[in-house]
Amino acid sequence: MKSLDGLRFRKRKTPIHRLDPRVKFLLICAIFALSIIFVDLMSITIIFLALVPLVLLAQVQGEWLRSLRASALLAAFIFVLNLIFVSDLYYALAMAFRFLVIVSSFSIFFLTTSPDDLGLALEQSHFPYEFSFAFTTAIRFVPELAKEAQIIVDAQRSRGLELEGGNILKRIRNYIPILIPLIVSAIRRSMELAEAMESRCFGAVKMRTSLHALKIRSMDYLVILMIVLVLAGSIYIRFYIHLL
């Protein structure tokens, strides 16, 4: 459950944290797109390595490594599956790496973007307020949920539940005593939240104003420019020159 820590926002003052959330989202989408465009090991490794300076710049290397470690098992699973069905070692490796790239980009995004900024970004992109509120609330609940999951795991282990060991089927069954209390409590909590919000007149005023407004700054334009150039370059290399 500590793996979810790899997605939790930490307040820090770095250029990455200061990027406009919309631009940062674009950046993540671009990385995502790049890792889909390319299928060969070499390119995906380059994309992966290109993330390292980003991570260092954002000073989230510890959390990033943790999220990598947490996704290692799934990456290994992807590797094995591809190896079995495609039986191409390089391809299987590339697929596993691609998964890690996607995990990393998400991890960087959520680690460096405060939920408030995210909500603001949604609002300013003309999403309905209910939507952006639900979104930020969901993100805010993640650490709470992780904490709760840990307590539930503890409670069930105290009743003799062993999570490790056994075949796959048994392992999956082992999670039922964890998931049910977790889901029930999440539902109960959201009901309570809805009641608390209604008793505080949520949605009574249609026009909302924000104290802080997001502004795209020159740094953001620079990043957008870079994204466009890299994406265009990559598409050119991949589809027109057939270099790779």
Candidates 12, 69, 157, 217: give the one binding another protein (CB under 8 A): 157
Candidates 161, 224, 231, 237: give the one binding another protein (CB under 8 A): 161
Compute the distance between CA of residue 25 and CA of residue 16 in angstroms, rounded to an integer: 11
68 binds another protein (CB under 8 A): no
Candidates 39, 177, 190, 237: give the one binding another protein (CB under 8 A): 177
Q: Which is nearer to another protein, 182 or 224 (CB)?
A: 182
CB of 229 to another protein, least distance (A): 40
185 binds another protein (CB under 8 A): yes
Candidates 36, 46, 80, 151: give the one binding another protein (CB under 8 A): 151
Q: Which is nearer to another protein, 116 or 148 (CB)?
A: 148
The residue written with tokens 């500590």 in the block is 2
Catalog residues that contact another protein under the rule CB under 8 A.
2, 5, 148, 151-152, 154-162, 176-177, 180-181, 184-185, 188
